[in-house]
Amino acid sequence: MNVIERIDDLRQTVTQARCSGQSIGFVPTMGGLHAGHLRLVAQARRECDLVVVSVFVNPLQFGPTEDFASYPRPFERDASLAQEAGCDVLFHPSVEEMYGQAGQSGAGTGVLTSVAVAQLSEPMCGAYRPGFFAGVATVVAKLFAICDADRAYFGMKDYQQLLVVRQMAHDLSFRTEVVGVPTQRAHNGLALSSRNEYLSVDDREREAEIIYVALMGGAQTIVDGERHAKALRAKIDDVLVGVERFDVEYLEIRDAETLAELDLLSGPVLIALAVWVGSGSQRARLIDNIVLHIDDDTGRVDVEAGEIVEEYPA
């Protein structure tokens, strides 16, 4: 595996691969790799000739009070996990390499351009994390421009991000196809996340699993025939209410393609939530979701809830 820190070097490597007829698969990450990330790498490995993984903690997508400084950066471990999973090129640029000298302009970086994806960026996480999706869309556009991949792999765990990035790639005519990969979950259903490390073992094992219980309960309610979003919300709220060390930031039931709010459930439906779990320094904001496809003619409901893959701790 080749570790590259410079934009020009990555460009040269992918150009050479492309000239020799290879297809390129790209997996952008912020590091702190776990089985969720590795599932994306494994799929890229199966589908593409050259697999590029980036590890870059992107300052543009963190708010001033968020965890940019403390975000996990176990680079040696990430490098060996990426290699084992089949990565050919690990792109690990510095903030200066990506955005110029700190303090030059903008919020502590040298970047003046921002990519904004209207509508899809506005509700849910966008409402609680101003600037987050612009930070994501900007860094992904830049990475797509550098990497020029055939396919890029994104997790369904960050479902709104997947829709924002897919729309951005379409609107800006990137050649890169954005592929969504199912959410990877620990044995208790907790979606794997680099931020789970902030939690105490107890909260990770017992409190956080309520998220999955609530989502699966919601899915079952729909499978059982409920078609009113208000009634579904009440059922899910019942599970979430009263859990200790647990603050629900949002619970949303929306069209899974447009993110429009729904009163009546039909077609592709997204149930998504963000919760704060834990207390003090062992507190983390976790997001999760489930997607259902309701066939209005037959009443059939398909549930996309992800895959249980790993015992905790890893």
Q: Is the CB of 265 or the CB of 287 nearer to ligand AMP?
A: 287
Q: Is the CB of 99 or the CB of 159 nearer to ligand AMP?
A: 159
CB of 92 to ligand AMP, least distance (A): 13
Given a contact cutoff of 8 angstroms between Cβ atoms, the answer to whether 211 and 204 are in contact is no
Tokens found for residue 170: 């379409």
**Is 37 an annotated catalytic residue?**
yes
Q: Is the CB of 112 or the CB of 314 nearer to ligand AMP?
A: 314
CB of 16 to ligand AMP, least distance (A): 26
| Burial (0-12, 13-18, 19+ Cβ within 10 Å), 238 | exposed
Q: Is the CB of 67 or the CB of 97 nearer to ligand AMP?
A: 67
Q: Is the CB of 61 or the CB of 221 nearer to ligand AMP?
A: 61
CB of 301 to ligand AMP, least distance (A): 22
Which positions touch ligand AMP (CB under 6 A)? 29-30, 36-37, 39-40, 154-155, 157-158, 181, 183-184, 191-194
CB of 158 to ligand AMP, least distance (A): 4
CB of 58 to ligand AMP, least distance (A): 8
Active site residues: 37
